[in-house]
Structure 1
């Protein structure tokens, strides 16, 4: 089963999308800010990241930049 990390600071959006993705056969992980997204991406190694760009604090673009520079870039999954 593919693992999706769903990141959005608006909880109603993740509450709506997560069940849809689960019914579609994905294991869904949820984060509600950029810091939580980085921590979960690095520890749980999702296959796909669905990321809100406009978030307070660490925004989606910065999350992408940091993940590109992390050990995830080019690393084989599991």
Structure 2
């Protein structure tokens, strides 16, 4: 069964929200181990930056693999 465009959008948004939350919680837990002490606001901002970078990375890789797929399809 094929996923609808709406459900693809819902999945993508959920993935970004969950990723952002995981990034922030991980920073809060891990940074002090390395002697880095940040405020909640700083963690939220860094989490947002990491999320934007992750979205850009995911998009670039998806486009790269699509280009590879198109080149490898026999004509």
Task: Return the structure number with greater strand share.
Answer: 1
Q: Which structure's relative contact order is higher, taking Cα pairs within 8 Å and 6+ residues apart?
A: 1
Task: Return the structure number with greater helix share.
Answer: 2
